[in-house]
Amino acid sequence: MASLYIVRSPTRRGVFSISLLCLVASIIWIFVWRLELKEYEIIRSQVTKNLPRICQYRRDNNISRRNDTNIIMFWTTRSGKKNWFTFSETETIRQLTDFTKCSYNCIVTSDHSKLKQADVLLFYRNEKPDWPKIRYPHQYYAHFTHEAPPWLGHSKYLKQYEGKINITINFRRDADVYVPYNSILSVKSDEVYKPRIPHENKTKMVVWPVSHCRTESHREDYVSELSKYIDVDIYGACGKLICTRAIQQTCMKQWETNYMFYLSFENNICEDYITEKTFQPLRYEIIPVVLGGGNYTRDTPPHSIINVRDFNSPKDLADFLLKLAADKQRYRSYFKWKTHYQIDGGNMLCRLCEALHENQLPRCLARTDYLNYWLGPDGEKCNNGLVRGIRKRGHW
């Protein structure tokens, strides 16, 4: 005889009890999970607090983009100009959108309607970031600047870049995309350089074009002392002589004809910071006298410049310049490099375009202490006390 089983339907009270037990269990699980997560975050923060960058945003690099034309979008303005890179203000700006000499082709735009298609969003210098409402996982956020660290460090907006920027694009060797003001290319040649300017035409000693009269490098103090021992003609806002940006090239031609030396003094003495103040006169027959924090031995042609750091005082420098100017052959030896090297302006964004196509950029990179990246924890990225040190050493 078969057994008879009676299955009773659960009562409402039973269903409620089971539901309540599940709810309590879920609450306990969530509570424990949050405690573990909090503990993990504390450990992670302690492990990474001394690191310059953490993996806060991840970019999917699994799909190669080598055959595509990458889109580089200028997101921020420049002095209020949305399409600032299309203006022919300087040679550097005109080169930004010219990829004809690059290994790959990229499109540069400021059309925000193409946000979803953009591979990189460029946030320029110290402009207000105004972040997009949507951040797509394939995109890089890049901070692009050629300004010195102290200048950027004073910006009220720079703090907003922390935890947002994936890559850095600047003149520093430790940047994710290294874009110096200019670079030096070696040229194979057996020719001997023949100077164009007759030495006798150079009847004046030193020229100094300058627009900022008080600087953090205190270069003006050095020039003030230097001018006691050698003639220094000052052009621009800080002197009595005039040469506007509109006629800069004309002025350079006049200066190379009439002057022996050109003061290439940076307004900030910072790591890797060598600007057009040095590279501009190198294109002409005039010797740059440099004051800066860059590695001039590495980044300028051999025997092409005179470095202030090599002299104990402005008087010692002046004595050297006067002797050099009086020695025609020795003076002209500073131009021999011109048949073996050339100054390359290049396209500042070629390196970025190449890195995009070849997937060379880091997969994750979000700087959580951007001010320390620029200045260093103790400000060691710059040495604006150099002139004061020379003053103390030279007793002036």
In a domain, 25, yes or no: no
pLDDT digits (tens, 9 = 90+) for 324-334: 999 999 999 99
What pLDDT sits at residue 385? Answer: 81
User: Tens digits of per-residue pLDDT, 95-140?
Assistant: 566 677 788 888 888 888 999 999 999 888 766 778 899 988 888 9
Q: What is the CA radius of gyration of the chain?
A: 30
φ, ψ dihedrals at 57, nearest 5°: -120, 135
Specify whether 210 is located in the same domain as 357. no
* Among 2-6, 12-16, 344-348, the least confident range: 2-6
| 234 or 45, greater pLDDT | 234
Give the least confident one: 59-68, 70-79, 126-135, 323-332.
59-68
**Domain match, 285 and 198 both:** yes
Tell whether 173 and 189 lie within a shared domain: no
Q: What is the mean pLDDT of residues 16-32?
A: 68
C-alpha to C-alpha distance for 286 and 182, rounded to whole angstroms: 18
CA-closest candidate to residue 355, choices 178, 158, 92, 171: 178
- Pair 197, 273 in one domain: yes
The label of the residue with tokens 């953490």 reads 54
105 in a domain, yes or no? yes
Under the phi-then-psi rule, with left for phi > 0, alpha for psi from -120 to 50, and beta for the rest, what region is 80?
left
Q: Let me know whether 203 and 319 are in one domain.
A: yes
Residues 361 and 229 in one domain: no
Question: Is residue 31 included in any domain, yes or no?
Answer: no
The residue among 11 and 241 whose pLDDT is bigger is: 241
pLDDT of residue 294: 94
- The number of folded domains in the chain is 2
Contact 246, 221 (CB under 8 A): no
Name the burial class of residue 132, with classes exposed (0-12), middle (13-18) and buried (19+) by CB atoms within 10 angstroms of its CB: middle
| pLDDT tens-digit map of 247-302 | 888 999 999 999 999 999 999 999 999 999 999 999 999 999 999 999 999 999 99
Q: Using pLDDT thresholds of 50, 70 and 90, give the confidence band for residue 158.
A: confident
Most confident of 124-128, 179-183, 368-372, 374-378: 179-183
Residue 179: pLDDT over 50: yes
Residue 84 lies in a domain: yes
Cα-based torsion angle of the residue sequence 53, 58, 64, 68 in order, rounded to the nearest 10 degrees: -90
Nearest to 299 by CA among 144, 173, 167, 170: 173
Do 198 and 340 lie in one domain? The reply is yes
In this structure, the answer to whether residues 153 and 286 fall within a common structural domain is no
pLDDT at 50: 38
pLDDT reported for residue 27: 72
Q: How far apart (Å, rounded) are the C-alpha atoms in residues 55 and 395? A: 50
Helix, strand, or coil (residue 381): coil
Label residue 6 by pLDDT band (50, 70, 90). Answer: very low
- List the structure tokens of 180: 């110096």
Mean pLDDT lowest among 5-9, 103-107, 147-151, 243-247? 5-9
- 205 and 308 share one domain: yes
Flag whether 28 is in a domain: no
Rounded percentage of the chain residues whose pLDDT exceeds 90: 41
Count of helices and strands (H, E) across the chain:
12, 15
Give the CATH number, domain containing residue 246: 3.40.50.11660
Give Cα 340 to chain centroid, integer Å: 28
Share of the chain above pLDDT 70, in %: 73
Sort 245 into a burial class: Cβ within 10 Å, 0-12 / 13-18 / 19+: exposed
**Same domain (yes/no): 283, 370:** no
Q: Is residue 12 part of a domain?
A: no
Would residue 30 count as lying in a domain? no
Q: Which domain holds residue 124?
A: 70-181+347-375
Do 309 and 363 share a domain, yes or no? no
Q: Residue 46: what pLDDT? A: 37
Residue 191 and residue 340 in one domain: yes
Note the pTM of the prediction, 2 decimals.
0.78
Are 295 and 273 in contact, with CB atoms under 8 Å apart?
Answer: no
Residue 18 counted as domain residue? no
Q: How far is CA 158 from the centre of its chain?
A: 14
